[in-house]
Amino acid sequence: MGSFLIILVAYLIIVSASGTLARFFLKFKLPLITGFLIVGIISGPYITGLLDKDAVNSLSFIKDISLAFIAFAAGAELHLKEFHGRFKTISWITFGQLVIAFIISTFILYYLAEYIPFMNGMEMSGELAVSMLVATIFIASSPASAIAVINELRAKGKYTQMAIVVTVVKDVLVIILFTICFAVAATLINGDNFKINTFFELIIGLTVSVSLGFLIGKLLNFILSFFINAKFKIVFVILIGWFVFAISHFISEYSEIHWGFKFYLEPLLINIVASFYVVNYTKSRTEFLMLLEKNGMNIYVLFFTLAGASVALDVLQNYWLIALVLFIVRLFTIGLGSSIGALSAGESGLFIKTAWMPYVTQAGVALGLVTIVAGAYPLWGAEFETILIAVIVLNELFGPTIFKWSINKMGESHVKAEIPEFDGIRDALIFGLESQSLALAKTLQKHGWLVTIATLRDEINPNDYPDYHIEKIRNYSLETFEKLKASRMEAIIAMQTDVENRGICEIVYEHFGTRALIVRLNEQSNVEEFRNMGALIVEPSTSIVNLLFHFAQSPVATSILLGLEEHKETIDIEVVNPDIKGLALRDLRLPGDILILSVKRGGNTVISHGYTRLRIGDVVTVVGSQESIEKVKLKFE
């Protein structure tokens, strides 16, 4: 027990480092999961030796815990309401991969058997069995990775929706297919004849697994219904998932000893069904999804770091070429199956050409299936696990990039545009002509801003507002924004209905990357949607209360920030002048009445002090007199 605790503590230290080091790979547009795998490989027996083989084996329970969570996360994506109207394409693409890709992969692998180390020397029946298992693993994709790419690109559209739904549905069916192939493979590898009893045992095992899944789902809902801390709830959720694995292993061993055959319960399928039940048929859906989202990365770093440490590099060194061949075989079969499925569904030419691209990436489910096979066949399991993990790593390296390219090609990416360089002039664009927008424009103009007010109102005569620059527009199209010269605006303020504001924010977010995008909110339920587009939200119903609170708590600071303090103003200034790059705040010669409130860098606020060194692009918030602020602007800009 003492040795085990030492190993566990050491591994947790490695995991902590992995969570930090993996972010380095983001610079190369690689997912964090790839970073976790590589850190695990470095920590394993063949490079640094921080974890030897015995240590990796003693931590195998972490794989079961992680797989339980990954199964919950996959099942949570099966929200039935999102499938409406898309069954035809979903069905055909899923069929193309589960049937066409599976059959072709099995055929190719069977004829390549003599070149594949873990299949070389087997009987023909064994070669066929292992080919079926590998083909099943080839079909598996990664819902977690797909979701990460979609969220990163803020992708929306038919292609994106197809990708995530097919990925999750296919992985559920892969679990069922794997259960069947695993039982058939056991019969073929052991040299026994396939008996009709085996088929019935499979059907009964799958039926019991699905039934247990709904029971576990009810148990999860019961746990989630309690008013207890979320940290306790996620612990209970993970323990329930791990218990499913433990009881499945126990029944498998018990049945073999006492009943004369192995009764298979599929723990991944049980947990996926349980999660599916919670998401679709209980009121705990929102809380369950929140728990999975908040704790997902912690589980992924545990699982993928250990998976990386399990890679036998001595085997990979000898068989890297066959791993590359298997990677190419998988791309070919997945591509062929997906394209045939999309063609059968009547999709367009571009959709057919890119139909395979969302499904290249592999991760949790595939690794879980590899682990199960390797554990069941120790004689050749190490070679099997190492070569297939190498294939999965290749899929993880290239898959997200391919998926990103396909989303951009289909025109469904909605990423934020880069913020343009400051041109030295403070411009503001206000949408909506009313008393508040006029008052805002007047205040901004008083502080040296050039303000344009855009309105859809036909009855307005701009000549009636001689003190303001009024532009009449026909719609909120990209062409309209270009005519309004939105690319040079320092601030864009949307003061229309939430529907109109949403359209304004979408165009600004995707095409112009304005520094300050401000929305006057009408409905509280739309907060998250605007926040996801980087908008600063002003909610009239609560703004006055918050303002009064801040006046009561800090009247002087609030007065300064609102410009009510005589001769004092607050302003954000971007550092553009290369002459002050690298200078510490304490070394700047600033007017005596200037106070630096904060420094914002890359969207994050830096804890600023006298030794904070400025960089080009930093946004510095300063307080001071108008005269002194002009001097600071001259120095910084």
**Residue 520 bridge partners (DSSP):** 538
Helices then strands, each counted (H, E), the chain:
24, 10
**What was the pLDDT predicted at 106?**
92
What is the CATH topology of the domain spanning 427-538?
Answer: Rossmann fold (3.40.50)
**How many Cβ atoms are within 10 Å of 316's Cβ, its own excluded?**
19
Question: Is 198 in contact with 205 (CB distance < 8 Å)?
Answer: no
**How many Cβ atoms are within 10 Å of 263's Cβ, its own excluded?**
16
Name the residue among 626, 261, 210 with its Cα closest to residue 446: 626
Q: What is the 3-state secondary structure (H, E, C) of 214-275?
A: HHHHHHHHHHHCCCCCHHHHHHHHHHHHHHHHHHHHHHHHHHHHHCCCCCCCCHHHHHHHHH
**Domain 427-538 matches domain 565-636 at the CATH topology level:** no
2-36+65-409 domain in CATH 1.10.3720.10?
Answer: no
pLDDT beneath 50: ranges in the chain:
none
Name the residue among 114, 112, 133 with its Cα closest to residue 189: 133
Domain boundaries, the chain: 2-36+65-409, 427-538, 565-636
**What was the pLDDT predicted at 334?**
92
Task: Give CA 435 to chain center in angstroms.
Answer: 43
Question: Is 353 in contact with 336 (CB distance < 8 Å)?
Answer: no
> pTM of the prediction?
0.63
**Residue 429 bridge partners (DSSP):** 452, 492
**How many Cβ atoms are within 10 Å of 607's Cβ, its own excluded?**
7
Burial class (CB in 10 A: 0-12, 13-18, 19+), 97: buried
CA-to-CA distance for 179 and 373, rounded, in angstroms? Answer: 11
CA-to-CA distance for 574 and 361, rounded, in angstroms? Answer: 40
Please state, in angstroms and as integers, the Cα–Cα distance from residue 249 to each residue in 32, 186, 253, 256, following that order: 31, 16, 6, 11
Q: Token digits for 611?
A: 């030794």
Name the residue among 24, 38, 34 with its Cα closest to residue 363: 34
**What was the pLDDT predicted at 169?**
80
- Residue carrying the six token digits 């038919």: 158
Q: What CATH architecture does domain 565-636 belong to?
A: 2-Layer Sandwich (3.30)
